[in-house]
Chains A and B, each alone.
Chain A
Amino acid sequence: MAKKKTEKAAATKYKPLTPAIIAEMEKIVGRQYVIHSDAEKLEPFSHDEISEKEYAHMPDCVVRPAAAQEIAEIMKLANREMIAVTPRGAGSGLSGGAVPVFGGIVLLCDRMNKVIEFDKANMTITVEPGLVTNEINEIVRPAGLFYAGYPMSLETCYVGGNVAENAGGGKAVKYGVTARYVLGLEVVTPKGDIVQLGGKLVKDVTGYDLIHLMVGSEGTLGIFTKIILKLMPLPKASVDLLVLFRTPDEAIAAVPEIMTKSGIIPTAIEFMDRLSAHAACKYLNETLDYKDAGAMLLITVDGPDEQQVMQQYEAIGEQCLAAKAIEVYVADNHTTSERVWKVRRNIAEAFKVQSPRQSLEDIVVPIASIPKMVAGLEELSRKHDCQIPCYGHAGDGNLHATPVMNPKWSDQQWHDRLEQILVDMYKLTASLGGTISGEHGIGHKRKKYMPLVCQAAFIDMMRAIKLALDPNCVLNPGKIFDC
């Protein structure tokens, strides 16, 4: 490990950390908030939720600042000494965005986890980046409000990471993704300046929209130290429908009809193909009669009162039955709702029983192309003799196709085959007008596949922006594209 690290460092312009630099950082944030020279303590910061070891890289040190000023000083130090800085939230990412691929400093924002202001009159909340996303809703719910950003990992992930990745999740059909709710940011720039962007304004065209340049920049353009989020009125009622179809085609064909014919935009429309749904049901000992189900949709509707939600789910349910659904199950309380969502949430776990090696993908296609994508994935699965369960957010075309290692393969075979599978999958996605990541981001996991879906001119444009803000390329280098 140590040897590999020096080789890599030698091949880059980044300098190793010296005791003097570490001492300087200890002076900035306090001695107890700098972790270094202890491989066991540093290891958790060498990877995110991707289980494949090849995407991991050890940091040289982890710094835990408590204020924007401290981060600014660290950035100035990093520029002066040419040291890579990788910002990190809860580490629940799925693209390697928080992995320090050039070693150096991991800048952990876990201590910056305060609510700065809950402004009921303006329906906003101002928070620090290390706050767990779920806690926002715990705080604002009593006031009849809610934060609509809903990544599936909401009980662990930090809001700073959500903004950096422009997290999507299950409720994007109705509520959109994180970007829609970011009204303002305080950002420490790569050079170490502290900049205020936006505020509590619903409308603001004063200059370039730099907020939305920052949102989804994967920690390459700035470090957020304050985030102003827009809140929505809390829906009073919510109902889930678990709908069984004979084939994925029938299930997917029902999706646009649900919206156009009933005139209702559901909160969530989750899709599970036969492989995913059956594996999860079996794993959970679910006794519903699912044997004839070739696909399932999990549809959520919410609204201001029970009556309205009931009308909506009835209309959607009828639409599904008209679209040849086998059965429509209704879950309108905690017990039954948990039961149906468990199926969706346990797919990845169910496949880990078969093989712990899998590659959770994040492709997104225009919704009308989903049936073609699903059919194409089945063909890929046959071609490569590899199971590719496919599930995800059917309402927005974002599919988590997940190649699972054939247990007969060696590690090397898996490595080589996966490469071919991913290239095939991404090419197919591109041919359907789709792209390689809907909500997980590019990081370094998907960087090399960018040319499959992006023009060179687009990548050049991003690089020009990056170099304008970060001329030394010290902030999260090696992500999205090479600078």
Chain B
Amino acid sequence: MRIIVPMKQVPETNAVRMDETTGTMIREGVEAIINPLDLYAIELAIRLREARGGEVVAVSMGPPKTISALKEAIAMGCDSAALISDRSFAGADTWATSYVISAAIRRIGDYQLIICGERATDGDTGQVGPGIAAWLDLPVASYIGKLESIDEKSCRVHRLVEDGYEILDVALPAVLTVVKEVADPRLPTLRGKQKAKKTDVPTWGPRELDVKPEYLGLEGSPTRVVKIFKPKVARQCQKFTATDEAGVKQAVEGLVKFLAGKDLI
């Protein structure tokens, strides 16, 4: 079974600072890591490979330094990786990104399962996984918290929904986007790191991939980021203070009235 894991390198969120004037993220000097949710996808893929054989291929679109994220994926246990990188891909929105990644997946070929993290911590859209499924015309199951069973033709997964789980049987090949519960990621080992160092990761651009130039990068993207701003915190705090016995009673009554007014009690 061949499993493909599309992943993204993102800025380490603890270290992110915003430029107050432009409202954009300051990326300079910020460490780049594998998108935390993608680690769960990688872990699930490796466990399936360990249980059933086959191979796990990691792919990522980004600038050349993204190679370090792919090497980390190999160090964790992925068998191989490919970097999708070219100036013409820069500035792609989720539509154009999923288009190019789906082309890379077609190039790898012969896959049964594509596992993505549910979303990336920087863009926060959650659209690329389902987008890939759309371009490849595959079934997609998002918010997967558990993969119960799998065989050649289908898998049974638990999909996290607001009031519980949906249990779905999904025909393969398919795209799954996974959430945190699916599997705790392992740490890379020394042997893994050494293997990653030796593994050659190819870089694919428009020449290696069967893509239409008009679908690429910022130019090919139907959506635009017009403005980024910090949302205003609309927290409405009301204090009920009391200094004496009578005051306490009044404060309690006030609080009850307030909560009742909000339909909270």
Chain A residues within 8 Å of B, Cβ to Cβ = 241-242, 287-288, 310, 313-314, 317-318, 321, 327-331, 333-336, 339-340
Closest chain-A Cβ to B9's Cβ sits at a distance in Å of 11
Task: Give the 7 A-B CB pairs with smallest separation, nearest first.
Answer: A287-B184, A317-B190, A328-B190, A329-B187, A334-B12, A330-B193, A333-B33
In the complex, what residues of B have CB within 8 A of residue A335's CB? Answer: 12, 33-34, 36
In the complex, what residues of A have CB within 8 A of residue B189's CB? Answer: 327-330
Consensus secondary structure, chain B interface: helix
In the complex, what residues of B have CB within 8 A of residue A318's CB? Answer: 190
Chain B CB count within 10 A is highest, among A287, A313, A331, for A287
Contact A241 B184 (CB under 8 A): no
Assuming the contacts A287-B184, A333-B31, A334-B33, asked whether A321 and B190 have C-beta atoms less than 8 A apart, the reply is yes
Question: In whole angstroms, how far apart are the Cα atoms of A452 and B191 in the complex?
Answer: 47
Partner of B190, one of A314, A333, A334: A314
Closest-by-CB residue of B relative to A320 is: B190
Question: In whole angstroms, how far apart are the Cα atoms of A330 and B31 in the complex?
Answer: 17
Closest-by-CB residue of B relative to A338 is: B14
Contact A336 B15 (CB under 8 A): no
In the complex, what residues of A have CB within 8 A of residue B15's CB? Answer: 334
In the complex, what residues of A have CB within 8 A of residue B14's CB? Answer: 334
Contact B188 A288 (CB under 8 A): no
Question: In whole angstroms, how far apart are the Cα atoms of A333 and B187 in the complex?
Answer: 11
* In the complex, B75 has a CB within 8 A of chain A: yes
* In the complex, B249 has a CB within 8 A of chain A: no
In the complex, what residues of B have CB within 8 A of residue A340's CB? Answer: 187
Closest chain-A Cβ to B77's Cβ sits at a distance in Å of 13
In the complex, what residues of B have CB within 8 A of residue A287's CB? Answer: 184
In the complex, what residues of A have CB within 8 A of residue B194's CB? Answer: 314
Closest chain-A Cβ to B17's Cβ sits at a distance in Å of 13
Interchain residue pairs with CB less than 8 A apart (22): A241-B190, A288-B186, A288-B187, A310-B197, A313-B190, A314-B194, A317-B190, A318-B190, A327-B189, A328-B189, A328-B190, A328-B191, A330-B187, A330-B188, A330-B189, A330-B190, A333-B12, A333-B31, A333-B72, A335-B12, A335-B34, A339-B187
Question: In whole angstroms, how far apart are the Cα atoms of A410 and B161 in the complex?
Answer: 50
Closest chain-B Cβ to A74's Cβ sits at a distance in Å of 39
Closest-by-CB residue of A relative to B192 is: A330
Contact A336 B187 (CB under 8 A): yes
Closest-by-CB residue of B relative to A239 is: B193
**For window 1-40 of chain B, which residues contact chain A by CB distance below 8 Å?**
12, 14-15, 31, 33-34, 36
Partner of A242, one of B12, B187, B191: B187
Chain B CB count within 10 A is highest, among A310, A313, A318, A330, for A330
Contact A331 B190 (CB under 8 A): no
Question: In whole angstroms, how far apart are the Cα atoms of A313 and B190 in the complex?
Answer: 9
Closest-by-CB residue of A relative to B15 is: A334
In the complex, what residues of A have CB within 8 A of residue B33's CB? Answer: 333-335
Closest chain-A Cβ to B73's Cβ sits at a distance in Å of 13
Closest-by-CB residue of A relative to B32 is: A333
In the complex, what residues of A have CB within 8 A of residue B191's CB? Answer: 328
Question: In whole angstroms, how far apart are the Cα atoms of A329 and B188 in the complex?
Answer: 6
In the complex, what residues of B have CB within 8 A of residue A288's CB? Answer: 186-187
In the complex, what residues of A have CB within 8 A of residue B190's CB? Answer: 241, 313-314, 317-318, 321, 328-330
Closest chain-B Cβ to A205's Cβ sits at a distance in Å of 41
Closest-by-CB residue of B relative to A336 is: B187
Question: In whole angstroms, how far apart are the Cα atoms of A442 and B186 in the complex?
Answer: 42
**For window 187-215 of chain B, which residues contact chain A by CB distance below 8 Å?**
187-194, 197
Partner of A334, one of B31, B186, B188, B197: B31
In the complex, what residues of A have CB within 8 A of residue B192's CB? Answer: 330
Q: A314-B193, A330-B192 are in contact. List 9 more A-B contacts (CB 8 A).
A: A321-B190, A328-B189, A329-B188, A330-B75, A330-B193, A331-B188, A335-B33, A339-B187, A340-B187
Question: In whole angstroms, how far apart are the Cα atoms of A327 and B75 in the complex?
Answer: 14
**For window 166-200 of chain B, which residues contact chain A by CB distance below 8 Å?**
184, 186-194, 197
Question: In whole angstroms, how far apart are the Cα atoms of A358 and B12 in the complex?
Answer: 37
Closest chain-B Cβ to A270's Cβ sits at a distance in Å of 16
Question: In whole angstroms, how far apart are the Cα atoms of A34 and B72 in the complex?
Answer: 56
Question: In whole angstroms, how far apart are the Cα atoms of A367 and B197 in the complex?
Answer: 34
In the complex, what residues of B have CB within 8 A of residue A331's CB? Answer: 187-188
Closest chain-A Cβ to B64's Cβ sits at a distance in Å of 15
In the complex, what residues of B have CB within 8 A of residue A329's CB? Answer: 187-190
In the complex, what residues of B have CB within 8 A of residue A321's CB? Answer: 190
Closest chain-B Cβ to A323's Cβ sits at a distance in Å of 13
Question: In whole angstroms, how far apart are the Cα atoms of A317 and B72 in the complex?
Answer: 17
Chain A CB count within 10 A is highest, among B31, B36, B197, for B31
Question: In whole angstroms, how far apart are the Cα atoms of A321 and B194 in the complex?
Answer: 14
Closest chain-B Cβ to A138's Cβ sits at a distance in Å of 13
Question: In whole angstroms, how far apart are the Cα atoms of A313 and B189 in the complex?
Answer: 12
Closest chain-A Cβ to B13's Cβ sits at a distance in Å of 9
Closest chain-A Cβ to B59's Cβ sits at a distance in Å of 20
Question: In whole angstroms, how far apart are the Cα atoms of A313 and B12 in the complex?
Answer: 23
Closest chain-B Cβ to A289's Cβ sits at a distance in Å of 8
Question: In whole angstroms, how far apart are the Cα atoms of A310 and B197 in the complex?
Answer: 10
Closest chain-B Cβ to A310's Cβ sits at a distance in Å of 8
Question: In whole angstroms, how far apart are the Cα atoms of A329 and B190 in the complex?
Answer: 6
Partner of B188, one of A310, A314, A336: A336
Chain B CB count within 10 A is highest, among A317, A333, A339, for A333
Closest chain-B Cβ to A91's Cβ sits at a distance in Å of 27
